[in-house]
Amino acid sequence: MLVAFREAVELADVWFAYNGVPVLEGINLTVGPNDFLSIIGPNGGGKTTLLKVIAGLVKPARGTVKVFGQSPEGAGTSIGYVPQAGHFDRDFPISVFEVVIMGRLGKAGLGRRFGKRDREKALWALKTVALEEFQDRPLGSLSLGQQQRAFIARALVGDPKLLLLDEPTAGVDAPRQVELYALLQELKREMAIILVTHDIGAVSKYVEKIACLNRRLFYHHAKEIRAEELEAVYQCPVDMIAHGVPHRILKEH
């Protein structure tokens, strides 16, 4: 049973490297149980790796990772993880419902048949992401945005208290993006959400806190980012557009 903790995620001096090349350096991060945090930064800056460290999919070379006061492995089904959209065989014979209910494996256990409760949760998750009418369709017949919603539903059926999303709006059209962010704002009432994205404009409107990552993490528990912090992360002057007050700032480089 998961005990209530003040923090959903606690990272202390976390380091990680691939083949000796540093990817994460001295990461310190705390995320509250109902925080909606976005992580932005350049390609190769370690954003996906950081999510994998929190999810327990990779182990840091140094430092500690706690999810609700436990190791990621101990936190188990309290973590819902939606990776970047990948390529798959669109002709693979699996329905949307079958994809979603697979998220109950952590509750049902390998080798046990899904029961009534599992099916009810799958239907609830499909309704939550507005895909109930597509449940019998092949996953490959859905649009990219619909597929992403199906994968979010798969993460939700395990009753997570922490939802990790890696570029969930990539390739999704603008109206569907608005729907997705509205959904996430509803979900944060019940869980913490960490979102990796390149969409700074959408982030500034919807999320509550922003962290910048390029091997090192720049985080000050707010959604306002100073120009110096963006330049430190992207390692060059950054073109900034202010919403509501149209102006651009771009230093010579």
36-40 and 209-214: which strand pairing? parallel
pLDDT for 147-164, tens place per residue?
888 999 999 999 999 999
pLDDT tens profile 201-248: 666 677 888 888 999 998 766 555 555 655 655 555 555 444 444 444
Phi then psi dihedrals of residue 125, to 5 deg: -65, -40
Are residues 27 and 11 in contact, defined by beta-carbon separation less than 8 angstroms? Answer: yes
Domains defined for the chain, CATH in brackets: 9-249 (3.40.50.300)
Question: What does the alpha-carbon distance between residue 176 and residue 187 come to, in Å, rounded to a whole number?
Answer: 16
Q: Are the C-beta atoms of 46 and 213 separated by less than 8 Å? A: yes
